[in-house]
Amino acid sequence: MIIVTGGAGFIGSAAIWMLNQRGIDDILVVDHLGNTSKWKNLVNRNYRDYIHKSVFLEAIEKHRFDRSDTIVHLGACSSTTEADADYLMENNYHYSVTLATHAVANGIRFVNASSAATYGNGSQGFRDDLATLDRLKPLNMYGYTKHLFDLWAVRTGAINNMASLKFFNVFGPNEYHKQDMRSMVNKGFHQIVENESLALFKSTHPDYKDGDQRRDFVYIKDCVDIIGWLIENPSVSGLYNLGTGKARSWNNLAGALFDAMRRPENIAYIDMPKPLRNAYQNYTCADMKKLKEAGCPIEFTELEDAVSDYVTNYLQHEDPYL
């Protein structure tokens, strides 16, 4: 059995889609649905059962899942603006440590979600090098909790018995419930439909023109293909970046979106909110050498093709879910 925590979330439900595509449905979904619309991500999916994340943690501590084949741990609060630090410590850090400890102790394959938010302002670069891990200074509490887990995994040696992925700017179907944390492709699509224009933040850094701030945008389908490869290759362990290795500008992203929607380009540059200015990443780009050297064969979808697939096959459809 494969356990997917955060299984109703964006990456989690896409991972279940990937497993279903491979004929796998012996899956336990772990999540906290609450009053969100995340449940819609599961409607098209096949899985054995669902369990609440707190009940699952109690079951883990009672050794009820000691014989599971794989735990894909994608459950976390991913809001970069979440202010409750104690909640993030418990939900993102301590919960992850408990699951990883259980998996390592029982020989269970453990695939974990870290984040590019751990790199902070990028002054230390974007290499997934364990030797420089302790130099990183995340800019928000979400990134800090992910960084703490990475440090714990290295310090205890658990990293040698798991695969942990530093996701960069992931976008694609099934992110609809994420509200303010949705990708700009998703937000921009609706802005263009409603206003015929797309708003981007003005630059607050002299090295970047408005809209020229750059990110490593990676399509959800590529991400879950890599998760599938890691499940099939349990001997691959370590901390790895998961981006395309290419930095593209917000203007590039906007252009791809207007093209996919067959609308004339119309970008409005707006002031960046003050609370974001000191915690804003003007540039991210994954160094993908390490994952490639591990033998990962995945070829990444070009930004324009990925945006086109998302718009044409999902956002413009009545049923936009994977």
Torsion sign across C-alpha atoms 249, 253, 259, 263 = negative
What is the number of residues in the chain?
A: 322
19 band by pLDDT with thresholds 50, 70 and 90 = very high
Q: Is residue 266 part of a domain?
A: no
Q: How far apart are CA 316 and CA 320, in angstroms?
A: 7
Q: Is the CB of residue 28 less than 8 Å from the CB of residue 52?
A: no
Instruction: Report which secondary-structure segment, H or E, holds 44.
Output: none
Q: Is residue 67 part of a domain?
A: yes
Q: How far apart are CA 93 and CA 78, in angstroms?
A: 12
Q: Is residue 141 part of a domain?
A: yes
Q: Is the CB of residue 103 less than 8 Å from the CB of residue 71?
A: yes
Q: Which of 290, 286, 295 is nearest to 235 (CA)?
A: 295
Percent of the chain with pLDDT over 70: 100
Domain that holds residue 41: 2-170+218-245+286-301
pLDDT at 45: 98
Q: Is the CB of residue 307 less than 8 Å from the CB of residue 260?
A: yes
- For 119, the token pair is 């790199």
Q: Is residue 313 part of a domain?
A: no
- For 276, the token pair is 């974001």
Percent of the chain with pLDDT over 90: 92
Residue 257 has pLDDT above 90, yes or no: yes
Residue 81 has pLDDT above 90, yes or no: no
pTM: 0.96
Residue 277 has pLDDT above 90, yes or no: no
pLDDT at 281: 86
Q: Is residue 94 part of a domain?
A: yes
Please state, rounded to an integer, the average pLDDT across all residues of the chain: 96
Q: Is residue 181 part of a domain?
A: no
Q: Is the CB of residue 121 less than 8 Å from the CB of residue 139?
A: yes
Q: Is residue 60 part of a domain?
A: yes
pLDDT digits 0-9 by tens, 120-175: 989 999 999 999 999 999 999 999 999 999 999 999 999 999 999 999 999 999 99
- State the CATH number of the domain containing residue 94: 3.40.50.720
Q: Is residue 253 part of a domain?
A: no
- For 322, the token pair is 């994977």
Q: Which of 166, 122, 172 is nearest to 147 (CA)?
A: 166
| Section 307-318 average pLDDT | 98
Q: How far apart are CA 16 and CA 18, in angstroms?
A: 5
Q: Looking at the 3D structure of the chain, how many domains does it have? A: 1
pLDDT digits 0-9 by tens, 85-95: 999 999 999 99
Three-state DSSP class for residue 237:
coil
Which is more confidently placed, 127 or 81? 127
pLDDT digits 0-9 by tens, 190-230: 999 999 999 999 999 999 999 999 999 999 999 999 999 99
Q: How far apart are CA 24 and CA 16, in angstroms?
A: 9
Annotate 145-173 with DSSP letters as a single string. Answer: HHHHHHHHHHHHTGGGGSEEEEE-EEE-T
Three-state DSSP class for residue 322:
coil
- Residues marked active site are found at 142, 178
